[in-house]
Amino acid sequence: MSALRYDVLGIGNAIVDVIAHADDDFLVKQGMQKGTMALIDEARAQAIYGAMGPAVESSGGSAANTIVGAASFGARAAFVGKVKSDELGHAFAHDIRAAKVAFHTKPASHGPSTARCYIIVTPDGERTMNTYLGAAQNLRPDDIDAETIASATIVYLEGYLWDPPQAKQAFVKAATIAHDSGRQVALTLSDAFCVDRYRSEFLDLIRNGTVDILFANERELLSLYETADFDAAVTALRGDAALAVVTRSEKGCVIVTRERTEAVPAASVDRVVDVTGAGDLFAAGFLVGHSRGKDRVIAARLGALAAAEVIQHVGARPQISLKALAEQNQLLS
């Protein structure tokens, strides 16, 4: 068995976020469904960018945000994701390494440009995302280094990776290596539309043990089990998943195991500015706690603390040390 080098290693889409504020009328005019993520082509990406108001660029991607959050908690963290050797690709690599995350995936020298996600934030803090996957969808099994995967306590995978076929193969390869090395595999469902596309495959991953820890929000869970009844969905989940955490915005989260269901409240928030990354940062806190053998409730409280920090400012990555914040709240020593 490989020596442990990382607490958490994430595999996902390497994306640069382009964030702008707009009202609901903008979403209607652009044909966007509020609060969801849509995959777009390069022509649509250029059209949206042209219609957007002033924007802020920052490195993003769901799993990448989670791993940066984990590093902010003081965890040993690594990320695997594909960029092109272009301006945005260099920016992504710089940002994630500056956050003290190991990032060694070789950039593509040709093909589509580095992925970007246009995020429209409405006055209520809700975000609507349009993603051009570009180079990110060219993550391949060859990009998965067996020794690196085997050296992580938890390998964290994002559901968005289930779209490109080659990335899907990389996903399965990483999960197999992790389990062969006695490590754990976590999956985030990422988006209700993503669940709609791959419901049966996600259920298979959960039921056959490919996934040890599942993260979902309430909307994704209801989509997974095709029901509007939250309690019924949780009951179904309990029969399928060894460990799952379902986030419910201001209601906090529910930890689900085959033995019990336990609710954990959300952390207090002064003002919601931008909910981008809330689920990603919740996963960061929970994974750090879990990788260190913390009680699941403590792990969930770490997640809630990180989510509360990120929704009080624009952008999907923490602006302060989450380790210091956790220590102040006596959740980490």
Per residue in 19-67, pLDDT (tens digit) is: 899 999 999 999 999 988 898 998 999 999 999 999 988 888 999 999 9
At position 55, the amino acid (one-letter code) is A
Q: Which residues contact 87 (CB under 8 A, 6 or more apart)?
A: 114
Q: Which residues of the chain register pLDDT less than 50?
A: none
For residue 265, give the 3-state DSSP assignment. coil
Provide the 10 A C-beta neighbour count for residue 279: 26
Distance CA 264, CA 255 (A): 8
Q: In degrees rounded to 5, what are phi and psi of residue 311? A: -85, -5
User: For residues 217 and 35, is the Cβ–Cβ distance under 8 A?
Assistant: no
Q: Distances in Å between the alpha carbon of 221 and those of 65, 175, 196, 217, 260?
A: 21, 22, 11, 6, 17
Q: How many whole angstroms separate alpha carbon 234 and alpha carbon 231?
A: 5
CATH for 6-328 is: 3.40.1190.20
Which of 182, 179, 174, 155 is closest to 3 using CA atoms?
182
Location of structure tokens 């349009």:
130
Token pair of 17, please? Answer: 């976020």
Q: Is 244 helix (H, G, I), strand (E, B) or coil?
A: strand
Q: What are the residues facing 216 on neighbouring strands?
A: 246
Give, rounded to a whole angstrom, the gap between the first and last alpha carbons of the chain: 29
Q: What is the pLDDT of residue 211?
A: 97
Put residue 256 in one of left, alpha, beta given phi > 0 → left and psi -120 to 50 → alpha.
Answer: beta
Instruction: Return all residues near 108 (Cβ < 8 A) that are at least 6 apart.
Output: 82, 83, 84, 85, 135, 138
Domain boundaries, the chain: 6-328
Give the whole-angstrom CA distance, residue 296 versus residue 127: 29
Q: Are 288 and 35 in contact (CB under 8 A)?
A: no
Tokens of 219: 């909307």
As a whole number of angstroms, the distance between CA 265 and CA 273 comes to 20
pLDDT at 125: 84
Specify the pLDDT at position 1: 59
- Give the largest Cα separation in the chain, rounded: 55
CA 254 to chain centre: 18
Q: What residue spans of 57-118 are helical by DSSP H?
A: 62-72, 87-98
